[in-house]
Amino acid sequence: MSEQQAVLIPELVELIARDLRNQDLTVCVRVNRNWHQGFIHVLHKNIHVYDFDFYSTDSGSGFPSRAVKLRPTASDVGYGGSRVYKYGHFVKSITVFNVRSLKYLGESCTNLNQVIINTTPPRPYPNRPVASVDQKFWRDVFRKASLETVDIWADLITRNPVLTYVRIDLTNVHQGFEKISERLGRLDNLKEVYLYGPKQRDVVEITLDHCSNIAMFGCGSTIVLGPQCKSSELGQPTKIRTLNLQWAPLTPALLANMIYRCPELEYIILPTESTNPSFLSLLANAIRASKCRTTISRLDFTGINSFILENKGFKSLVDTCEALSKLLIFGGTDFPPEMYLSDTLLNRLMEFRFRNISHSREDYGKVLAILKLCPKLRVFELTSVAVDVDEFLDIVPACTATLQRLVINFKCAFPGLTETDVWESERSKKQDVIFDFLSNFGTLEELTLNNDSMDCGRSKFPFVIDDTSLMILRSLPLKNMSVSGRKIEASEF
C-alpha cells in the first residue's frame, strides 16, 4: 500500500492525528490532495479558536472580516477565517470566544455535539490579541448588545438536533432567552446546559421548564437570580442529577424551588455564597423537604473556613444528605473530621478531597484523621496543602483494604544536619519508611506525591526514586504514579 493510499484509511488517520496539534494537522492538509482529503475532517472535528476572523482577512462566506488590520501569525491553525463554512459538516465540538463566530459555520454545520462560548479566554491563550489597542477592538466587537445572539443560538440549535452540551454566554442578552430555551427543550440528546452571565432574573426557571430531561444544569451570574418571594407554583420535577451553582447567587425562594424540582439530584457544586452559614441552613431545609435527601451522594464546598465549620449550618447540611459519600472542600483552615462529620457519615465516606485556597503556611495535619476514621475510603486528595511526614506516619489507617487513589504533599525538616552525606542518609531512611507505610494500602492504584509547586514553609520532602523504592512499591497494584512532578511509567514498577 502506498503512502498516498494510507492517508485515506480513516482508522489510520485517527491514530496518527491523536498525537498532533491543530497546527500540525494544518501542515498535513496542505501536503497534497490525498492528505487534504484524509486529514481535513480531523482538523475541523474539534475546534478551539479565539475567533475565526482574528487573523484572516478572507470574506469568502459573504461576511465582512473584522480583522483587516491584523496579520497572520504562526499561531493560526488554518481554519481559513470565514471559509470554515466549507467544512462545517465535519465539526463535532467547538469552543470560541465570540458567539458571532458561530455564523461562519454555515448551513452545513448539522452534526455538533458540543458548543462552548466563553468571553473570558484563559491567560495565556495562544490565539488572542496581545496589544491593548487590539484587545479594545475585540472587546467592543464581542460586547455589542443585540437580539442577534438569541437568533444565532436559536438557528444553531435548530440545525443541530444531536447537541448534548451547550455553554451559553448571556452577558449581552437582556431579553429573549425564552426562544433559546424553547429550542433547547426540543433536543432529545441534550444532557448538559451551562448559562454564563445571564441578565434575566428568571433564566433558571425558564430553563427548568423547557429542559426537564437534562442531567446537568449550571449557572454563573453577577446578579442575584430568582424571585424574592416564594411562588405558589413550584413547577414540574426534572431529571437533573448535577447542579453546578458555584458562581450563581440565588434567592432563597429560587434555591428551594430548584431543590424541589430535582428529586433525583446526586451532586451539588455549592456557590461561593455557601460561606454564609444561613445559606447552608436554608439549603439543608430545602433538601430535607425534598426526595433528593436520599439521593445526593456528593457535595463540593468553596470558601470554607473555621467560622463556617463551627456554625451548625455545615453539619446540618452534610447530615441531611442520607446518601452522602463524597466531599470536596476548598477551604482556608485545617479540617478535623471528627468535629464536623458524624460517625455515620465517616463510616460511609468513600471520597474526600481538600484544597487549600488561603495560601497560608499553617499546619494541616488534622485532616489526615480521615484516613483512620473512614474504613470505606477509596479516594484521598490533598492539594495545595503540605502535611508533615511524621504526622502521616503516625496515622493508623482504617482504609488499607479500600484506598485506590492517594494524592498528598509532604514536608519534612532535618534540623542540625549540615553534612551532605549525613543528610542524604537520613533522607533515604525516611523515604524507605514512607514507602513501607504506603505498601500497606493493598488496593492502591493511583499515587501522587509532592505534585504541587508550592511553598511548604519547611522543606518539601525530597523524594528520590531508586530501585529500592520501586521494589517496595511493586507489591501494590499501581497503574499510575507521579512523584515530584515526574510520571513513573508502569513498566518501571
Lowest mean pLDDT among 58-72, 135-149, 157-171: 58-72
Confidence at residue 134, expressed as pLDDT on a 0 to 100 scale? 56
Most confident of 134-148, 326-340, 443-457: 326-340
Burial (Cβ within 10 Å: 0-12, 13-18, ≥19) of residue 358: middle
For residue 124, say if its preceding peptide bond is cis, omega within 30 degrees of 0: yes
Beta strands in 181-325 (DSSP E): 192-196, 216-220, 242-247, 267-269, 298-304
User: Residue 471 pLDDT > 90, yes or no?
Assistant: no
Mean pLDDT of the chain: 81
> Of 441, 445, 436, which is closest to residue 472 (Cα–Cα)?
436
User: Residue 114 pLDDT > 80, yes or no?
Assistant: yes
What pLDDT band is residue 212 in, cutting at 50, 70 and 90? Answer: very high
What pLDDT band is residue 288 in, cutting at 50, 70 and 90? Answer: very high
Strands 486-488 and 480-483, sheet pairing: antiparallel
- Contact indicator for 281, 313 with CB cutoff of 8 Å: yes
120 or 201, higher pLDDT: 201
User: Residue 255 pLDDT > 80, yes or no?
Assistant: yes
Lowest mean pLDDT among 41-45, 201-205, 247-251, 355-359: 355-359
Cell of 257: 424551588
Beta bridge partners, 267, equal: 242, 298
Q: Which amino acid is at 381?
A: E
Q: How far, in Å, CA of 480 to CA of 166, rounded?
A: 32
For the chain, percent of residues with pLDDT exceeding 90: 35
Chain centroid, CA 301 distance in Å: 14
What pLDDT band is residue 16 in, cutting at 50, 70 and 90? Answer: confident
Chain centroid, CA 168 distance in Å: 16
Confidence at residue 491, expressed as pLDDT on a 0 to 100 scale? 67
Q: Which amino acid is at 116?
A: I
The 3-state DSSP class for residue 169 equals strand
For the entire predicted model, the pTM comes to 0.84
Beta strands in 369-475 (DSSP E): 379-388, 405-411, 446-449
Confidence at residue 6, expressed as pLDDT on a 0 to 100 scale? 64
What is the rounded average pLDDT of the residues 217-231? 76
Most confident of 226-240, 250-264, 404-418: 250-264
Confidence at residue 392, expressed as pLDDT on a 0 to 100 scale? 92
User: Residue 413 pLDDT > 90, yes or no?
Assistant: no
pLDDT, one tens digit per residue, over 416-468 is: 544 455 567 777 888 888 989 998 999 999 999 886 555 444 467 788 877 77
With cell 461576511, the residue in question is 63
Confidence at residue 72, expressed as pLDDT on a 0 to 100 scale? 45
Confidence at residue 467, expressed as pLDDT on a 0 to 100 scale? 79
User: Residue 352 pLDDT > 70, yes or no?
Assistant: yes
- Contact indicator for 169, 118 with CB cutoff of 8 Å: yes
The 3-state DSSP class for residue 313 equals helix
Q: How far, in Å, CA of 132 to CA of 138, rounded?
A: 10
Confidence at residue 253, expressed as pLDDT on a 0 to 100 scale? 86
- Contact indicator for 484, 454 with CB cutoff of 8 Å: no
- Contact indicator for 33, 39 with CB cutoff of 8 Å: no
The 3-state DSSP class for residue 174 equals coil
What is the rounded average pLDDT of the residues 382-388? 87
User: Residue 55 pLDDT > 90, yes or no?
Assistant: no
156 or 6, higher pLDDT: 156
Q: Which amino acid is at 367?
A: V
14 or 284, higher pLDDT: 284
Confidence at residue 431, expressed as pLDDT on a 0 to 100 scale? 86
HSE, side-chain direction, 13 A CA sphere, residue 19: 3
What is the rounded average pLDDT of the residues 116-137? 60
Confidence at residue 456, expressed as pLDDT on a 0 to 100 scale? 47
Alpha helices in 50-176 (DSSP H): 132-142, 148-159
What is the rounded average pLDDT of the residues 400-427? 75
Cell of 251: 434567592
Non-local (6+) Cβ contacts of 105 within 8 A are: 84, 85, 88, 91, 94, 156
Confidence at residue 422, expressed as pLDDT on a 0 to 100 scale? 52
User: Residue 59 pLDDT > 50, yes or no?
Assistant: no
pLDDT, one tens digit per residue, over 67-109 is: 444 444 444 455 555 567 788 889 999 988 778 778 878 888 8
Beta bridge partners, 165, equal: 114, 192
Q: How far, in Å, CA of 350 to CA of 345, rounded?
A: 10
Lowest mean pLDDT among 55-69, 139-153, 294-308: 55-69
